[in-house]
Structure 1
Amino acid sequence: MENSSYVFTLSGLNNIRGNKDTYFSLTLLAYLLIIFVNCTLIVTILREKSLHEPMYILLCNLCVNGLYGTAGLYPKLLADLLSDTHVIPYTACFLQVFVIYSSVLCDFSTLTVMAYDRYVAICRPLQYHSVITTQAVGKLILFSWLFPFFCILVLISLTARLTLCGSHIEKLYCENWAIVRLSCVPTTTNNVYGYIVIFVFLAHVFFILYSYVKLIIASSKSREDRGKFMQTCLPHLLTLINFTVALFFDTMYSRYGTKDFPQSLRNFLALEFLIIPPLFNPLVYGLKLTQVRRAVLRMFNKHNSADILLEGNNKHHATILSNPKR
């Protein structure tokens, strides 16, 4: 049978049949919250001219990627929670793999670019505006998207050529390694390429850590630099740690996990990097970065003031209509 005619079965929801309404409500709430906090930060940065700086533009890119990645999971997951059959066509499965894992790699690329931006800002402040130009920011953002897209396209091409002997995926969503494990033929090329991608993006992490060593050394020389480090670099470091740990657990389970794990724990490990970082990133940056926090509060205060003014005008017009002789 040709691979394109396959329909994969996802077994991650098999043990929650009695609590589907509860899980659906919680999942929908989490997805709506992710959309709200990320869109709030994106709109705030785009509207506020004072935030049209490289660091905030890169933060905006991180939030856009968060929305992109979660769009690959939540609509399908919500549909499965309302259905008794959890299947996904062959092409749709690979599309989900592409969206979720290109988003993961894009997060690492964006965090690397953000680390470079902070390194230049603190370690080479006099050269910052000549190095981190608008054109440079555009190229860095383009790199943070195109390089992950290329890596995942090659990965999917290698997986799509395999002849499959099964269609049962023991996860909540399609995952490349889970598909490779269904192969009837040797998967050496896939394994080697997979490890190459892992090592390339581990190099991203090492670059970030190296830049932070430099940042800590540089910021320890003056109180102003220490304040700048705590204000702008600490959220980035927390984001990196949170995302790396979440992805590490998912990767370890995908490669070496067994069926002895409780299904609820397996689901948590599979979803952690798709739930926590998209919520965590905008909240941490929104609370920690003073300019972003003030801009968000100003935006909501303007809306509240406009609503109050509109309500007052409506009451005034209602009074005039009810008392035409006044």
Structure 2
Amino acid sequence: MPSAQHLLLKQLLTAATGPLARRRPQLAAMRLAAEAASVFQFVPWNVFLEDASVEGMPAEWLRPAGAPAHRVLLYLHGGGYVLGSLNTHRALVGALAQSCQLNALAINYRKAPEYPFPAALDDARLAYDWLLQNGYKPQDVMIAGDSAGGGLALALLISLRDAGQPLPAAAICLSPWTDLALPVAMLRQICREESQILEALEIRGWGPLYAQDTPLRHPLLSPVQAALHGLPPLLIQISDAEVLHDDVLQFSRKAYAAGVPLTLQVFEGLVHWWHLFWRFVPEARQALDQAGSFSRGVWAAQASAKLAVQAASHRARPASSSPLRARH
């Protein structure tokens, strides 16, 4: 059962978004509201903020104290491909970076409808390539994202694989949007289970804004439609009350069948974007702790594999022999 803190959060979100659902605000007003709300987003203690630019794209580093310099978390924020920014997700990225003990690079990729598909994906690939060009090794890079950013993270992996480029070590997807073609039945589920929270944000209309002339079921728009072989380890977190739940389960089943090392964690009764409220929702802190455990497991598995390769190489090496001395 969800915590009392989450139940209070749900009531507050319902009260705040109910009027939006009735008034159907313009996208510009929703963006402004999201940015205004971000003034309450504070970076965790001992996480240090640093402005950055990735080939002219606004970005920032969030560096937890003690994080190893050679590893990095590339973060892609959520917002339906039309909302969100470095400001709206700064606290979440900082908390995730701290939990994973990774320096996080967050990027402000271009948004629809001004910049439709594949602009966001191109920006994500640009950031990943930039990291490699600046000395980070693929096996030391992890990708993460929430909601649309989680779907974008999966699309990035699929795009890199199909291009024959080296893949990152793993990906962390928080409530990822894996299918942009949301049927009406799912929208009815929003009204029933989330008190119109997602409907107020008009999520069904956001997919077409991003896709525009591209079919919504294109595999780089809806990763659930893609072939999923050859992907690195994935952590996916989802709530059973989210409208995205069924699509995530379908994606997970498909990934399992393709042999992807996938960890699926399903939480009970939580609203979409519950991770953003980690300061006072215990389930969010638990989710971030589990993401940290997943990250440490990835690096531990890498170290074990490296030791195994070294041991096998040592066993295969022929024993050195020294010439016998002649007796006098």
Larger Rg computed on CA atoms: 1
Above 0.5 in TM-score? no
TM-score, normalised via structure 2 length: 0.31
Higher relative contact order (CA 8 A, sep 6+): 1
Decide which structure has greater strand share: 2
**Greater fraction of residues in helix:** 1
TM, length-normalised to structure 1: 0.31
